[in-house]
Amino acid sequence: MALLGQMMSMPLLISSLIQHAARHAGDTEIVSKRCEGDLHRSTWAEVELRSRQLAQALGRLGLSAGERVGTLAWNGHRHLEIYYGTSGSGLVCHTINPRLFPEQIAWIANDAQDSALCFDLTFLPLVEKIAPQLVTVRHFILMTDRAHMPAETSIPNLLCFDDLVAAEDGHYTWPLLDEDTASTICYTSGTTGHPKGAVYSHRSTVLHAFGAALPDAMACTRRDVILPVVPMFHVNAWGLPYSTALVGAKVVFPGPHLDGKSLYELFEKEQVTFSAGVPTVWLGLINYVSSQGLKFSTFKRTVIGGSACPPAMLATLMDDYGVEVVHAWGMTELSPLGTLSRLSSKHLALPPAEQRRLLEKQGKAIYGIDMTIIDDARRELPWDGRSAGNLVVRGSWVISSYYGHEDTPLIPVAGRDGREAGLWFPTGDVATIDEDGFMQITDRSKDVIKSGGEWISSIDLENIAMAHPAVHEAAVIAVAHPKWDERPLLVVVTKPGASLTRDDMLKFYEGKIAKWQVPDDVVFVNEIPHTATGKMLKLKLREQFRTHTLPSA
Amino acid sequence: MALLGQMMSMPLLISSLIQHAARHAGDTEIVSKRCEGDLHRSTWAEVELRSRQLAQALGRLGLSAGERVGTLAWNGHRHLEIYYGTSGSGLVCHTINPRLFPEQIAWIANDAQDSALCFDLTFLPLVEKIAPQLVTVRHFILMTDRAHMPAETSIPNLLCFDDLVAAEDGHYTWPLLDEDTASTICYTSGTTGHPKGAVYSHRSTVLHAFGAALPDAMACTRRDVILPVVPMFHVNAWGLPYSTALVGAKVVFPGPHLDGKSLYELFEKEQVTFSAGVPTVWLGLINYVSSQGLKFSTFKRTVIGGSACPPAMLATLMDDYGVEVVHAWGMTELSPLGTLSRLSSKHLALPPAEQRRLLEKQGKAIYGIDMTIIDDARRELPWDGRSAGNLVVRGSWVISSYYGHEDTPLIPVAGRDGREAGLWFPTGDVATIDEDGFMQITDRSKDVIKSGGEWISSIDLENIAMAHPAVHEAAVIAVAHPKWDERPLLVVVTKPGASLTRDDMLKFYEGKIAKWQVPDDVVFVNEIPHTATGKMLKLKLREQFRTHTLPSA
Ligand SMILES: Nc1ncnc2c1ncn2[C@@H]1O[C@H](COP(=O)(O)O)[C@@H](O)[C@H]1O
C-alpha cells in the first residue's frame, strides 16, 4: 500500500506569491509610468495591502467566488493590484486586449460573462462606446483617482478605483482556495474565427511562475530591475507579474509609453536590468537608440518572443549593445512559456558563429513542458534538426480545453517506438527539433508555403530579408502558382530614407538559401498589418495579394 | 460557485524530472569517481534507462509500492539510479548516513522497516556486521559489478546491482502516482535521543527542486557542471540530484574521494563550475589549494551551509579564489533548503564591507518557505536585526510530522497584530531577522549561552576565533558559573605548526564584541568532535568540560 508523504499541505495559490513578496521584499519598489502622466512609486507591501483592500471592495460590490473581472489596461500598479486582488480572493482575472476592435472586445467580455470591468483612463471613450453591449457587466471601474474622474460620462454609476480601495481597511485574510480553482482567463489572439479563452488555475500559474523564473528561462533575481514591455493584457505579460513577486524583484511598468524614446528614458532612470517583449517593440527601441547614438547603462538581458526574433535583431542587441538576447517561444495556451534558447555546457566550446545559430532558434523546453514534432499521421518525427513537423506540447501549464468548450483540443500521439505516448496539445506551429532538443519554428502551419510538394519556411525567408540594411520589416506569403501550386512572395517595408530595388533584394538571397526557395517576387508596401499582439497579419496580406501575378506564372 | 481551471492535470512526480533530463538533455554527462577506483562516464539518458531497469528488477524481487529501500552509499551514478528507480516506481528511497555508529544504522533501518538495502563496496564489512540485526531487510544489494563481488561473504544471497539492472529490458513505463505519495525518507542527525524520519512526498520534492534551482538559490543552469560535495545520504545532497535533472546540468560525483587533493583534481578535470557542501569540507579543499599555491580555473560559485559558514572562510573563497559563496541555511525537516544569502537590488549601492556583512548572514527565505522569529510565548518578534528569537518556518517542503509519529511538532504562532498566524515548524534555532528579511542564526537554542539573563551567541564568538590566522576550528560552549549562571568557554584547534596562547586569543576579541561577551577561558584540543554530517558535537564538548573551572569563577 502506498505510503503518503508527511509534509505540510500548502496549496499553490496566487495569494502566496504576493504574500511572499510583501513579507520578504516589502520595501522593494514597484514603479509605474501611468496614463495620467506621472511616475508613481509603490512597493510590494503597498501592492499587497491595496490588493487586499480591492478584494474587500469587490466583495462589497457583491462579486463572489468564480465571477470574472475584466480589465482593459496598460502595465501599471493598479493592474497588478487587480491581478492579485481578484485571483487572490477567488475571483477570476480576465485581461482583455484593448487593441482589438471594439466589437471583438465586447464579444470577449460577453463570452467570459465579466461581472465587472476595470479600465484605464485611456479607454474611457472605448468603454463608453461599448458599454451598452456589455450585458453581464454590473460594475464599471475607472482605474484612476478622484481627481481624474470625468465630469460626465454615459457610463451609469462609474466607480473610481482609488476611492474603492481607500474605503477599505485591509483587514482581510486571503482565502484558502483549492489550487485547481480558475485564477485567470486569457483569450487567444486568434487571427481567424472567434477568440477562445484559456482558463489558468492557481496551480498552473504558480508552477509557470517557478518555471519562468529559472536561470535557463527568464532568470529573475532579487537583484534585477524588471520592466515588462510585453503587456499585462497579453498572456499575463508572460507571467512576469507572478515571477517578479516570487523572487521579490523591483518592477518598472511603462504604462502606455511604449515608444523608443519613452522606454529608453525609463530604462535609464530606473536602472532596468531585464526586459521582455515582442520583436516589434524592440524595433522601435533600437531605432531610437541607434539614431541618437545612445547606449544602455544597466540593461543587460532581454527575452524576445511572441513571433520569431530576426537574427539581425538578435545580432544588433548582442553585438552592438551588449544586451544578452534570449529567444523564446510560447503561446496563450501555454501560459505562455514553452521554450527558451540558452546554450548547454557542451556548447560552450563551439565557435561563436555556431553558438549564435543555436541562440537564433526558439530553444529548449523548460521543465514543466514537454514537446515533440509529429507527422500528419500523428507519429513522432526524429529530432534531427531537419525533419519539420507539427509541434505538440504538454505540461503543467498547458490547457486541456477552452472556456465554455467541453471538447478537448488534445490529440493522441504515437511515440517513436510505436507506443501510445499520451495526449498532447497541437500548437499549430511547424518546427524542427535538433539532437540537443533545440526547437526551431519554421512556420505557422497555415503560413507554410507548399511549392511542388516541398515546404518552404516563410520565417527563413523573412529572416534573410530582415538582415538587409534597407529593410525595416518583411513578410513572406504563399501566392497561387499554376505549376508549383504555391510560390513565395516577399512583402517589404523599407527603412525611412532607404532605397531598395526588387532585383537587389532578390540578389541578396543568393548563396543564403537553395535557389528554388528564393521568393518569386517582391512588393514594397508602407506598412505590414499586425495583430493586436504584434504578430504580422498574414491572412490580411494573403487577401491583399491574392490576385498578384508572379512573373514566373 | 468556484470556477475550475482548464489545464492539463500533471502530477508533480519525481519520474517527470528524470524523464525531462533524458528527453531534453539526454547526452549530458554524469561523471562518477567510484569507490572501485575508476572514473565512470554516463549520461542522463543512460541513468534514466538504468533507473527503469532497476525499477523492473526491484519489482521482480517482490518489492511493492510504499516499501522502503535503504542505501548506504557515496555520491555516484548508481546511487542516482536508486533515487529515481525507487521513488519513480512508487517505492521509498531511504538514504542512511554510513558515518553513524553501526548500532544507529541498524536502528534506523529497522525503524524505517527497509525491505532492501543497497550499499557501496566500502560498506560491505559494515553491512556484514549489522546484517543479522536488520530484521526487515529481505534483499541485500551490493552496488557494484560482477567483477567486484566478494568471493565470500556472511550476507546470505548477496545480489549484484549491475547484474540486476542488466537482466532487465527497460520496457517499463513510470507509473502515474498520486503526487502526495512518499518518495523519500531522511532521518535527522539528532544529537540527542533517537533519530526521526522526515517523509518527503513527490510533490514536496519537485517543488523543492524548483526552489533550489532558482537564480536566488543554487542558480542551476544547463551550462553548469555541478559537483555535489554534500553527500546524497545527507538530506538528498540538498536536492541537487533533482535540481540538476530539472535543468539538465552535467553532474560530477566524487564518490568517497572527499579529501582536498582529490576534490581539486576532479574540479579541474571535469571543469566544475558549481559545488555545494558543509564548511568542514571546504576547510580541507582550501588548505590543499593554498598549501600548493593553486587556483581554480572553472569553479565560480558555491553554496555553503549545514552549519554556519565562518566569515573568514567566505572571505578566503571570495577574495583569494574568486569563488562566489552563497551562505545557506536549512535542515532535514525542510528538505533542506530554507534561506540563502544573496543581495537585493537596493543593496548593490552599499559599500562592499556592508554587502559582505549581509552575505555572512544565513539569508532570505526563498518562495515556498516562510519564516519568522517568536518569543517563548509564541508571539512574533520584530524583524529589526537585533531581536533574537526562536526561528519557525512553514512551507511546501516542510514536514508536518515524523515517520511513525502521529503527533505533530507544529505549533501555533500569534502574528505581530495579535492574530493567529497558523501552524509553524519550530526549528530549534535562535535567529534574528533584519528589516530586509535577512535571517542570521545566532545559535541552536540548546547551545546559546545564558549569562546573567542575557543571551550570548556561541556562533558569533566562534566566527571571531575562526578569523584568527592560527585557528583551524573553534567551538564555544556554556560552562556553569556561580555568579552568571553560564559563561562562554572557547575550545580551539590550532592550525598545524601554528602557535597561539590563551592571552593572545582573548586579546583578539578586543574591539570585536562587547566586553561582557568575551569568553572567560580558552582550552586547546587536538580535535573537536563532529556529528556524522559534519556539525560540531557540542553536547560531547559540554560533557567533556562540565567540570572545567573558569578563572573568573
Ligand atoms: N519565438 C517565436 N518564433 C516564432 N513564432 C512564435 C514565437 N513565439 C510565439 N510565436 C507564435 O505565436 C503563437 C502564439 O500566439 P499567442 O497565443 O498570441 O501568444 C505561436 O503559436 C507561434 O506561432
User: What is the rounded distance in angstroms from the CA atom of residue A322 to the CA atom of residue A300?
Assistant: 7
User: What is the rounded distance in angstroms from the CA atom of residue A83 to the CA atom of residue A333?
Assistant: 19
- If pLDDT is split at 50, 70 and 90, which confidence band does A191 have? low
Under 8 Å CB-to-CB from B317, ≥6 apart: which residues? B282, B286, B302, B323, B325
How far is CA B71 from each of CA A159, B88, B94, B127, B483, rounded to the nearest angstrom? 64, 16, 6, 11, 50
- Supply the pLDDT for residue A190: 58
User: What is the rounded distance in angstroms from the CA atom of residue B69 to the CA atom of residue B197?
Assistant: 14
Q: Of the listed B95, B184, B188, B533, which one is catalytic?
A: B188
Closest chain A residue by Cα to residue B226: A345
A357 alpha carbon – ligand 1 mean position (Å): 19
User: What is the rounded distance in angstroms from the CA atom of residue A194 to the CA atom of residue A188?
Assistant: 9
Q: With an 8 Å Cβ cutoff, are A7 and B345 in contact?
A: no
**H or E element: which one contains B497?**
none
- In the predicted model, is pLDDT for residue A193 greater than 80? no
- If pLDDT is split at 50, 70 and 90, which confidence band does B495 have? very high
- If pLDDT is split at 50, 70 and 90, which confidence band does A183 have? very high
Q: With an 8 Å Cβ cutoff, are A221 and B399 in contact?
A: no
Closest chain A residue by Cα to residue B17: A367
- Supply the pLDDT for residue B431: 96
User: What is the rounded distance in angstroms from the CA atom of residue A336 to the CA atom of residue A230?
Assistant: 12
- Would you state the torsion angle of the CA atoms of residues A254, A259, A261, A265, taken in this order, to the nearest 10 degrees? 10
Q: Is B298 a catalytic residue?
A: no
- In the predicted model, is pLDDT for residue B312 greater than 70? yes
- Supply the pLDDT for residue B277: 94
Which residue CA neighbors atom 13 of ligand 1 most closely? A331
- In the predicted model, is pLDDT for residue B308 greater than 90? no
- Higher-scoring residue by pLDDT: A385, A534: A385
- Supply the pLDDT for residue A192: 58
Q: Return the CATH fold of A14-327.
A: Rossmann fold (3.40.50)
Q: Of the listed B269, B446, B450, B512, which one is catalytic?
A: B450
Instruction: State the average pLDDT for chain B.
Output: 94
State the average pLDDT over residues B434-440: 97
Does domain B371-446 bear CATH number 2.30.38.10? yes
**Residue B274 and residue B225 in contact, taking contact as beta carbons nearer than 8 Å:** yes
- Supply the pLDDT for residue B476: 95
What DSSP state is assigned to residue A381? P
How far is CA A365 from each of CA A216, A330, A338, A438, A440, rounded to the nearest angstrom? 10, 10, 6, 8, 11
Q: Which atom of ligand 1 approaches the CA of A332 most closely?
A: 17
How far is CA B209 from each of CA B223, B245, B300, B326, B496, rounded to the nearest angstrom? 17, 9, 21, 17, 40
State the average pLDDT over residues A38-45: 98
What DSSP state is assigned to residue B2? P
- In the predicted model, is pLDDT for residue B264 greater than 90? yes
State the average pLDDT over residues A180-195: 84
- Supply the pLDDT for residue B395: 97
Mutate to test the pocket of ligand 1, among A191, A230, A329 (most ligand atoms within 8 A of CB): A329
Percent over 70 (pLDDT), chain B? 99
| Sign of the C-alpha dihedral computed for residues A527, A532, A534 and A537 taken in this order | negative
Residue A402 C-alpha, separation from nearest chain B C-alpha, in angstroms: 7
Q: With an 8 Å Cβ cutoff, are A181 and B224 in contact?
A: no
- Supply the pLDDT for residue B283: 87
For the segment A489-544, what is each residue's pLDDT rounded down to a tens digit? Answer: 999 999 988 999 999 999 999 999 889 899 999 999 999 998 877 788 888 999 99
- In the predicted model, is pLDDT for residue A262 greater than 70? yes
| Sign of the C-alpha dihedral computed for residues B241, B245, B249 and B251 taken in this order | positive
For the segment A348-365, what is each residue's pLDDT rounded down to a tens digit? Answer: 999 999 999 999 999 999
Q: Of the listed A153, A221, A300, A455, which one is catalytic?
A: A455
Please give the backbone phi and psi of residue A200, each rounded to the nearest 5 degrees, phi first: -80, 155
Q: What is the largest CA-CA distance in chain B?
A: 75
Under 8 Å CB-to-CB from A411, ≥6 apart: which residues? A378, A392, A423, A424, A425, A426
DSSP, collapsed to helix, strand or coil, labels residue A207 as helix
**H or E element: which one contains A499?**
none
- If pLDDT is split at 50, 70 and 90, which confidence band does A68 have? very high
**Residue B364 and residue B301 in contact, taking contact as beta carbons nearer than 8 Å:** no
User: What is the rounded distance in angstroms from the CA atom of residue A19 to the CA atom of residue A26?
Assistant: 9
**Residue B488 and residue B478 in contact, taking contact as beta carbons nearer than 8 Å:** yes
Residue B400 C-alpha, separation from nearest chain A C-alpha, in angstroms: 5
A118 alpha carbon – ligand 1 mean position (Å): 28
Q: With an 8 Å Cβ cutoff, are A90 and B396 in contact?
A: no
- Supply the pLDDT for residue B410: 96
Cell of residue B97, nine digits: 548516513
User: What is the rounded distance in angstroms from the CA atom of residue A246 to the CA atom of residue B210?
Assistant: 12
State the average pLDDT over residues B357-381: 96
Say which residue the cell 511538532 belongs to. B409
- In the predicted model, is pLDDT for residue B419 greater than 70? yes
- If pLDDT is split at 50, 70 and 90, which confidence band does A189 have? low
**H or E element: which one contains A242?**
helix A240-247
Q: Is A188 a catalytic residue?
A: yes
Neighbouring-strand partners of residue A395: A369
- Supply the pLDDT for residue A420: 73
Say which residue the cell 516589434 belongs to. A280
User: What is the rounded distance in angstroms from the CA atom of residue B316 to the CA atom of residue B288?
Assistant: 13
Percent over 90 (pLDDT), chain A? 85
- Supply the pLDDT for residue A413: 95
A444 lines ligand 1 (CB under 6 A): yes
User: What is the rounded distance in angstroms from the CA atom of residue B453 to the CA atom of residue B263?
Assistant: 46
Burial of B110 (0-12, 13-18, 19+ CB in 10 A): middle
Q: Which of B186, B270, B367 to mutate to test the interface with A (most CBs of A within 10 A)?
A: B367
Cell of residue A370, nine digits: 514537454
User: What is the rounded distance in angstroms from the CA atom of residue B505 to the CA atom of residue A153?
Assistant: 79
Residue A552 C-alpha, separation from nearest chain B C-alpha, in angstroms: 44
The angle at the Cα of A324, spanning A320 to A330, to the nearest 5 degrees, equals: 125
Instruction: Please give the distance of CA B129 from its chain centroid, rounded to a whole number.
Output: 27
Of residues A182, A233, A280, the one with CA closest to residue A74: A233
Burial of A538 (0-12, 13-18, 19+ CB in 10 A): buried
- In the predicted model, is pLDDT for residue B422 greater than 90? no
State the average pLDDT over residues A100-108: 93
**Residue A118 and residue A71 in contact, taking contact as beta carbons nearer than 8 Å:** yes
Of residues A452, A499, A439, the one with CA closest to residue A478: A452
Q: Which of B4, B9, B10 to mutate to test the interface with A (most CBs of A within 10 A)?
A: B10
- In the predicted model, is pLDDT for residue B191 greater than 60? no
Which residue CA neighbors atom 19 of ligand 1 most closely? A331
DSSP, collapsed to helix, strand or coil, labels residue A263 as helix
What DSSP state is assigned to residue A318? I
Of residues A114, A115, A50, A119, the one with CA closest to residue A88: A50
The residue ranges of every structural domain in chain B are 14-327, 371-446, 448-544
Instruction: Please give the distance of CA A312 from its chain centroid, rounded to a whole number.
Output: 21
- In the predicted model, is pLDDT for residue B456 greater than 90? no
Cell of residue A158, nine digits: 462609474
Which of A45-54, B82-91, B459-468 comes out lowest in average pLDDT?
B459-468
Fold agreement (B14-327, B371-446) = no
Which of A100-104, A231-235, A385-389 comes out lowest in average pLDDT?
A100-104
- If pLDDT is split at 50, 70 and 90, which confidence band does A87 have? very high
> Which CATH code fits B448-544?
3.30.300.30
Q: Is B136 a catalytic residue?
A: no
Give per-residue burial for A122-159: e unless 16+ CB within 10 Å, then b: bbbebbeebbeebebbebbbbbbbeebbeeeeebeebb
- In the predicted model, is pLDDT for residue A454 greater than 70? yes
- Supply the pLDDT for residue A417: 73
DSSP, collapsed to helix, strand or coil, labels residue A247 as helix
**Residue B332 and residue B189 in contact, taking contact as beta carbons nearer than 8 Å:** yes
- If pLDDT is split at 50, 70 and 90, which confidence band does A444 have? confident
Residues of A in contact with B199 (CB under 8 A): 3-7
Cell of residue B98, nine digits: 554510513
User: What is the rounded distance in angstroms from the CA atom of residue B542 to the CA atom of residue A393?
Assistant: 60
> B182-187 and B197-201 as β-strands: parallel, antiparallel, unpaired?
antiparallel
Closest chain A residue by Cα to residue B7: A399
Helix %, strand %, coil % of chain A (to 5): 30, 25, 40
User: What is the rounded distance in angstroms from the CA atom of residue B63 to the CA atom of residue A355?
Assistant: 47
For the segment B465-477, what is each residue's pLDDT rounded down to a tens digit? Answer: 999 999 999 999 9
Can you give B190-220 as a three-state secondary structure string?
A: CCCCCCCEEEEEHHHHHHHHHHHHCCCCCCC
User: What is the rounded distance in angstroms from the CA atom of residue B206 to the CA atom of residue A490?
Assistant: 48
Provide the number of CB pairs (under 8 Å) joining chain A to chain B: 236
- In the predicted model, is pLDDT for residue B429 greater than 60? yes
**Residue B161 and residue B78 in contact, taking contact as beta carbons nearer than 8 Å:** yes
